[in-house]
Amino acid sequence: MIYYEKPIIGISASMIYEEKDELFLGDKYSCAAYSYIDAVYKSWGIPITLPILKDVSAIREQVKLLDGLILSGGRDVDPHFYGEEPLEKLEAIFPERDVHEIALIKAAVDLKKPIFAICRGMQILNVACGGTLYQDISYAPGEHIKHYQIGSPYQATHTIKIDKNSILFKMADKMEIERVNSFHHQALKQVAKGLKVVATAPDGIIEAVEAENEDGTFILGVQFHPEMMFDKSTFARGIFKRFINICIESRPAEVILKEETHHTEEHKKKNIDEKIKEIENEEKKEFFKGDL
């Protein structure tokens, strides 16, 4: 008999600076929102955060440790990386993080590690692959719905239309229309070669992309925040669970399949879906309070 090892999922980190405590004034802290960590763990993955590095060879070593990569949300992408000058409505940028994540993406594609890019993550993914961004949604043609909501992060506020031929459609339990949360003022402009649009908002703003070649590295980018909706939305949970399964399926056979000699009899009998369901049931009373 065989079992599946939990996959190691790397989450790209940001950096914050100590501004109040005089003793540690100016100290830098690597950080990632706990909602990413929680969503990965509850989906049967092992989350680790990836601190910002400058050494490309070290960044590649970061990726070698992983079974999958999540690109998290954050500040605006520096327009320098897609050949534009900063426009009036550009907000705070973090070029050091851009450099790190572009290197993460290139290494993940080269090493065939699945990529799940969220919000800013989808934007830097598009830029890393040769695409461009609207520095503010107001620069995109047409009239727009509200894309930066006010209220609870888990609250779904606008609809998206999902391509029926996409992997995201399967993750949505074959629902063409879903409601999502929204916390962005930038958006994809020219979609990079190798990516395809698989979901849009009612105003045409791109809400999700996937890799064009389904036989290559798995790539999914979403403009919304499923990690924030995880405890309230079956759609959000479905995305994370499917990503974790893809990370397991993408590993070399010698990593996926191992002897069961050091696992308990109870663990031996459970497949991936059963284990996920068990975790859900254990935490349901505390965390799950009904889907929106």
Among candidate residues 100, 158, 184, 225, the one labeled active-site is 225
Tokens of 44: 């049967």
Among candidate residues 119, 178, 184, 210, the one labeled active-site is 119
119: left (phi over 0), alpha (psi -120 to 50) or beta: left
Whether residue 31 lies in the annotated active site: no
Contact call for residues 291 and 233 (beta carbons, < 8 A): yes
Whether residue 260 lies in the annotated active site: no
Tokens of 81: 């990386």
b (16+ CB within 10 A) / e for 43-65: bbbebbbbebbeeeeebbebbee
Helix then strand then coil, % of the chain, to nearest 5: 35, 20, 45
| End-to-end C-alpha distance for the chain, whole angstroms | 40
Whether residue 227 lies in the annotated active site: yes
**Strand partners of residue 47:** 9
Strands 8-12 and 14-17: unpaired
**Strand partners of residue 222:** 118, 208
> What phi and psi values does residue 198 have, to the nearest 5 degrees?
-125, 0
Neighbours of 107 (CB within 10 A): 20
149's CB contacts (< 8 A; 6+ apart) are 155, 157, 181, 182, 183
Among candidate residues 158, 210, 227, 247, the one labeled active-site is 227
Neighbours of 215 (CB within 10 A): 5
Q: At what angle do helices 272-287 and 234-249 cross, to 10 degrees?
A: 150
Catalytically active residues are 119, 225, 227
